[in-house]
Amino acid sequence: MKAQPLDVKSSPPYAVPLRWFALAPPMLALTGLLLLFEGPTAVLSRWTPAALALTHLTALGFMGSVMLGALVQVLPVLAGAVWPPMMFRWHLLPAAWGTGVLLLAASFLWPNPALTGTAAMLLTGTLAVFLSIAFLALASARNPAGGDLRRALTGFALTALLGLGLLAQREGIWLADHFAWVSWHVASAWSVWGLGLVAAIAYAVVPMFQLTPPYPERFRARWGKALWLLPLAVGAGVAFGNEVATGTAVLGALLLVPPFTVQTLQLQARSKRPRHDATWKLWRMAMVSTLAAPLAALLAAGDVLSPWWAGVIVFWGGFAAVICGMWVKILPFLTWLHLQQRPGRQGFPPTMLRITPEAQADRLWRMHALAAALLLAGLIFPEPFMRLAGLAVIACAAQLGYILWLAVRTYRRWPQTTQAQVEVPPSTTSPG
Amino acid sequence: MSTIATLFTRDHRHADDGFAAVEAALLTGPTASALDAWEALEAELLHHFLVEEEALFPAFEATTGMSSGPTEAMRLEHAQMRELFAPLAAAIEAEETESVRDLLETLLVMLQQHNMKEENVLYPLCDQALATAQREAIARRLAATSP
């Protein structure tokens, strides 16, 4: 029988999003290792092999894997989408994605047409399958969240097509203004894919986790559509060369990005919760960074700053902060939810802060902030700070992996090994 | 008249205020005031669940013939949340700060993702399916003890 919106059968099994999430810590650790070994040479230019490998390990391996896993989980919750059962059965999708990212990074470090071709086929194939199923799942979603998610997924498709075009240019299959196309690819990735998805999730989770007022309906209806002006304008600018394309991207970012970040910061300031946890702090950092990023891009376009400033602020200050903030909420919640729904369950399953203690979330926040500071210091004094930043990124990856391991261990072992600690609800353990 | 989506969403936001009041009372006030704040929130949530389970969901199921889809999932989630209520009250009374924070956090996330599903998907479906008279009767029931 066909599942209906919100049907229990339309919720993904525990392991499905986690297979995607499990890719993120090792991919981030590889990014850290590259920074550690390359040190200052990694940031000499944005075009070095190491720089390209770093960028794509972060954007596709770390961020992309988490974003795809999050989509599996949130489509039914946010939009009432009904996943076709194949999404829960095709376990090879995350493996194909992870392999594709590794081969792509390897093809930047050790250029080889066979590596590039295989990476392109794996990544394009996985994404084509994922996006086709996602659009199918969203077909009946007629709510605003469905529209936000469809636009973000279309943004991912555009970014991937532009990336494919760039790989074809690199292999000499097709000639075009490579740098102008890179501006288009980056503008699309940052805006309609990355920020588009962050906004679609923020509209739900900022009011939800932080008890803020909702985003104004008019803002929500207009901003996501207006954001598309950025890649469309840059695409038109490509015909006039790199300077026009880059200038359009910077101007577009200066005009279109701040309304979302300012709106989110204003809402956060009106949070009804008296305590601010790690997620609140990480979202705050993400929004401040995303607000600063267009300015960094402007200064980079004027050769005042290295483009790496914009890169670090966007990737680490913005997207990685959101991911870390969500990591410490979603993993314990999913674990508790699935334990509570376990057939024939006996006893009271461990609740969220017993699965991911606040101390672990706070540690992740501090590690993320330290890595951000070291990355920025590394742009001023590359030696030794860029290598230290690499170590800090590896530490962050280890902490993300540890939090994931804590959740999976609890899920697998409960109620056996955690029985004494958590099975009995506080009402029967309290002394008085 | 107001829609199901408007009325029930307003009730959700009111519960958010109750949640914030419990957290604030836990941080600043004596245990008794935190317990009072929790009991007020618990009563509000139980009333909201009851109106949905006894009036809104049956009307939706009778009109659409969908009895095993969204309403079944929402009933299951109500049960999951109710299971947290008694341990939470006991932990507040026993001044077990860590347990209270843990149970409140779990309840908050569960409640909010549940509300999101209702507001984005189920309530609009109810507004499409139910006649004006049915919606008015359900609204009266919700308002009966709702603040």
In tens, the pLDDT along A319-352 reads: 999 999 999 999 999 999 999 888 888 788 999 9
What DSSP string runs through A220-265? Answer: HHHHHHHTTHHHHHHHHHHTT-HHHHHHHHHHHHHHHSHHHHHHHH
Question: What is the phi-psi region of residue A45: left when phi exceeds 0, alpha when psi lies from -120 to 50, beta otherwise?
Answer: beta
What residues of chain B score a pLDDT lower than 50? none
The correct answer on CATH 1.20.120.520 for the domain covering B4-145 is yes
Closest chain A residue by Cα to residue B87: A427
- Whether residue A113 is preceded by a cis peptide bond, meaning omega within 30 degrees of 0, is no
**Rounded alpha-carbon distances, angstroms, from residue A330 to A66, A88, A274, A356:** 11, 19, 21, 10
Closest chain A residue by Cα to residue B112: A208
> How many A/B residue pairs have CB atoms within 8 Å?
122
Residue A428 pLDDT > 70: no
Instruction: State how far residue A252 is from chain B, nearest Cα, in angstroms.
Output: 31
Which DSSP symbol is given to A85? T
Nearest to B24 among A274, A352, A427 (CB): A274
pLDDT at A418: 47
What DSSP string runs through A9-54? Answer: GGSPPTHHHHHHHTTHHHHHHHHHHHHHHHGGGGGS-TTSHHHHHH
For A161-186, the pLDDT digits (tens) are 999 999 999 888 888 888 999 999 99
Which positions in chain A touch B104 (Cβ < 8 Å)? none
**Cα(A183)–Cα(A151) distance, rounded to whole angstroms?**
20
Neighbours of A419 (CB within 10 A): 12
Q: What tokens appear for A297 in the block?
A: 């891009």
pLDDT at A415: 80
Q: Where are the domains of chain A?
A: 8-341+349-414
Residue among A209, A189, A187 nearest A197 (CA): A189
Residue A420 pLDDT > 60: no
Instruction: Say whether B20 and A272 touch across the interface (CB within 8 A).
Output: yes
**Cα(B131)–Cα(B128) distance, rounded to whole angstroms?**
8
Instruction: Say whether A5 and B72 touch across the interface (CB within 8 A).
Output: no
Q: Does B79 touch chain A (CB under 8 A)?
A: no
Neighbours of A57 (CB within 10 A): 26
Residue A419 pLDDT > 60: no
**Cα(A395)–Cα(A400) distance, rounded to whole angstroms?**
9
* CA-CA-CA-CA dihedral for B61, B64, B69, B72, to nearest 10: -10
Q: Does B61 touch chain A (CB under 8 A)?
A: no
* CA-CA-CA-CA dihedral for B27, A201, A198, A214, to nearest 10: -60
pLDDT at A421: 44
CATH topology of domain A8-341+349-414: Cytochrome C Oxidase; Chain A (1.20.210)
pLDDT at A424: 43
pLDDT at A117: 95
Which positions in chain B touch A354 (Cβ < 8 Å)? 102
Instruction: Say whether A7 and B68 touch across the interface (CB within 8 A).
Output: yes
**Cα(A84)–Cα(A132) distance, rounded to whole angstroms?**
11
Residue A90 pLDDT level (bands cut at 50, 70, 90): confident
Residue among A9, A10, A7, A12 nearest A91 (CA): A12
Closest chain B residue by Cα to residue A355: B102
Asked whether the beta carbons of A360 and A368 are under 8 A apart, the reply is no
* Phi, psi angles (nearest 5°) of residue A42: -60, -30
ipTM: 0.87
Mean pLDDT throughout A143-152? 93
Instruction: State how far residue A220 is from chain B, nearest Cα, in angstroms.
Output: 14
Neighbours of B145 (CB within 10 A): 11
Residue among A247, A100, A234 nearest A167 (CA): A100
Instruction: Say whether B19 and A211 touch across the interface (CB within 8 A).
Output: yes
Mean pLDDT throughout A236-255? 93
Q: Does B143 touch chain A (CB under 8 A)?
A: no
| Least confident interval from A23-27, A40-44, A179-183, A211-215 | A40-44
Q: Which of A352, A355, A422 to mutate to test the interface with B (most CBs of B within 10 A)?
A: A352
- Between CA B75 and CA B142, with CA B131 as vertex, the angle to 5 degrees is 50
* Chain mean position to CA A162: 19
Asked whether the beta carbons of A308 and A346 are under 8 A apart, the reply is no
For A296-306, the pLDDT digits (tens) are 999 999 999 99
**Cα(A348)–Cα(A345) distance, rounded to whole angstroms?**
8
Residue A53 pLDDT > 70: yes
pLDDT at B110: 92
Q: Does B83 touch chain A (CB under 8 A)?
A: yes
Closest chain B residue by Cα to residue A147: B120
pLDDT at A416: 64
pLDDT at A3: 66
Burial A224-247, CB ≥16 within 10 A → b, else e: beebbebbbbbbebbeeebebbbb
Question: Please, what is the average pLDDT of chain A?
Answer: 91
Nearest to A432 among B69, B86, B94 (CB): B94
